[in-house]
Amino acid sequence: MLLRIALFFVVACLALIVLGAEDYYKLLGLKKSATDREIKKAYRSLSKKYHPDKNPGDDTASKKFVEVAEAYEVLSNEETRKIYDQYGHEGVQQHKQGGGPRQHHDPFDLFSRFFGGSGHFGHHGGERRGPNMEVRVAIPLRDFYNGRKTEFTIEKQAICSACEGTGSQDGHVETCDTCSGRGVRIQRQQLAPGLFQQVQTHCDKCGGKGKTIKHPCPVCSGSRVVREAETHELEIETGMPTGVRITYENEGDESPDWVAGDLIVHLVESDPTLGQHDHERTDGTFFRRRGKDLFWREVLSLREAWMGDWTRNITHLDGHIVQLHRKRGDVVQPNTVEIVKDEGMPIWHQQLENNEGQKWGDLHVEYVVVLPDLMEKSMEKDFWSVWEKYRKKSGVQLDGAWGRPEGAIKMPTPEGEDEGHDEL
């Protein structure tokens, strides 16, 4: 009786564990109709995201890393996937207990088959590290001002997911019988009677790889790597400077022979263009940036520059209004620069000192005065009469005020020379 109760308790616990396990398709973010390629792509992305080396001290991420590996191992195998689709987690457990094909239970071993190295990120002694990749990503000024989460896509070398980096369609790789797996051959050459030289040459049979493949992978043609597009998330922080470098650790070109290097992204400002949406069509789109300050040219008519009594509303990069104005009688000289405080770029938090609150640079507004090309005869006559009246009353002749002569000035001759004297 006690044995039956204990057995019932064990079965109930196992049932609770199975019921509590997350659906493998949901865990990988896939539909039940996902293809093998989609399953491998999901594993590649999530395993890098939750890898313990990238999330030190985060037990939740480590658990996810193991769960993602387990989900991939079940769904990547045709037999276990059919069992899982029909019977769920319980069916897979029974299949394993019944002596089915053994699965790889080390998530780091699985990771290394996809990305090379020991299955860990970072620098580990004795492991060869691949080169870093550097790319430029162009971002509109509004994203530097407001901050934004977006994505960018690059093309890189990746380990072939079809053969998991073996280069073989069936996974079978043999050691080259010519070079014994060294990739090089040692040849003896006779230089003279009794005098020999050993020369190390590239093995022609295996191409220096030390291994041969009878059935090359149809996807990578036995090269073990492919070129493919990879999308990364990009978080642009408010006020980030142009040219800032963002490093994605171990996201460079991959190879079974090395640990991937880093992907280094340089953020640059894209040329201003009017977008399709309202927030992409503001005046601020055409601001110019220099450090923490912004620059803008505002055009005034002759009447506005001379007489004042005008107002301008400039729509900033985040949609708020910056108002410029002059009272009647306030004259604006051409090329005058007005500085509007705290309307420039937000200052990046890493450039603030002592945990200061949010601060902004200034907006520099340069005024350009546009003169009319022509005037109607009556308008020209009215203007002339008004200006002549005040010129005669208080006008100044500028040449005289500045001391300019009316005629040409006679320049002195070189010392010791007489005018009109010819040395020849």
Q: What CA dihedral angle connects 325, 330, 335 and 337, to 10 degrees?
A: -50
Count of beta carbons in the 10 Å neighbourhood of residue 111? 24
CB contact set of 371 (below 8 Å; sequence gap of 6+) = 302
Q: Which residues pair with 202 in a beta bridge?
A: 184
What is residue 12's predicted lDDT score, i.e. its pLDDT?
Answer: 43
What is residue 148's predicted lDDT score, i.e. its pLDDT?
Answer: 95
What is residue 105's predicted lDDT score, i.e. its pLDDT?
Answer: 61
Q: Is 86 left (phi over 0), alpha (psi -120 to 50) or beta?
A: alpha
In order of start, what are the domains of the chain with their CATH numbers? 17-115 (1.10.287.110), 278-370 (2.60.260.20)
Buried b (16+ CB within 10 A) or exposed e, 332-345: beeeeeeebeebbb
What is residue 223's predicted lDDT score, i.e. its pLDDT?
Answer: 87
Could you tell me which of 192, 21, 40, 13 has the C-alpha nearest to residue 111? 40
Tens place of pLDDT per residue across the chain (424 aa): 444 444 444 444 444 344 446 788 988 888 888 888 788 778 878 888 888 877 888 888 888 888 888 888 888 888 888 888 888 888 888 887 765 544 456 777 777 766 665 666 654 555 678 899 999 999 999 999 999 999 999 999 988 878 878 888 887 788 887 787 777 777 777 677 767 777 778 787 777 777 778 888 999 888 889 998 988 889 999 999 999 999 988 889 988 888 888 999 999 999 998 888 888 889 999 999 999 999 999 999 999 999 999 999 999 999 999 999 999 999 999 999 999 999 999 999 998 887 678 899 999 999 999 998 888 899 889 989 988 998 888 888 888 888 888 888 888 887 756 555 555 5
Q: What is the pLDDT of residues 167-220, one digit of tens each?
A: 888 877 888 877 877 777 777 776 777 677 777 787 877 777 777 788 889 998
What is residue 163's predicted lDDT score, i.e. its pLDDT?
Answer: 83
Nearest-angstrom CA–CA distance, 64 and 55: 11
CA torsion sign, 240 to 245 to 251 to 252?
Answer: positive
What is residue 311's predicted lDDT score, i.e. its pLDDT?
Answer: 97
pTM, two decimal places: 0.71
Could you tell me which of 261, 271, 240, 249 has the C-alpha nearest to residue 352? 240
Three-class SS state of 23: coil
What is residue 309's predicted lDDT score, i.e. its pLDDT?
Answer: 96
List strand residue ranges (DSSP E) for 123-278, in order. Answer: 133-139, 148-159, 174-175, 184-192, 195-202, 211-212, 225-236, 245-248, 263-269
Q: What is the pLDDT of residues 313-342, one digit of tens each?
A: 999 999 999 999 999 999 999 999 999 999
Per-residue tokens: 336: 């005058």
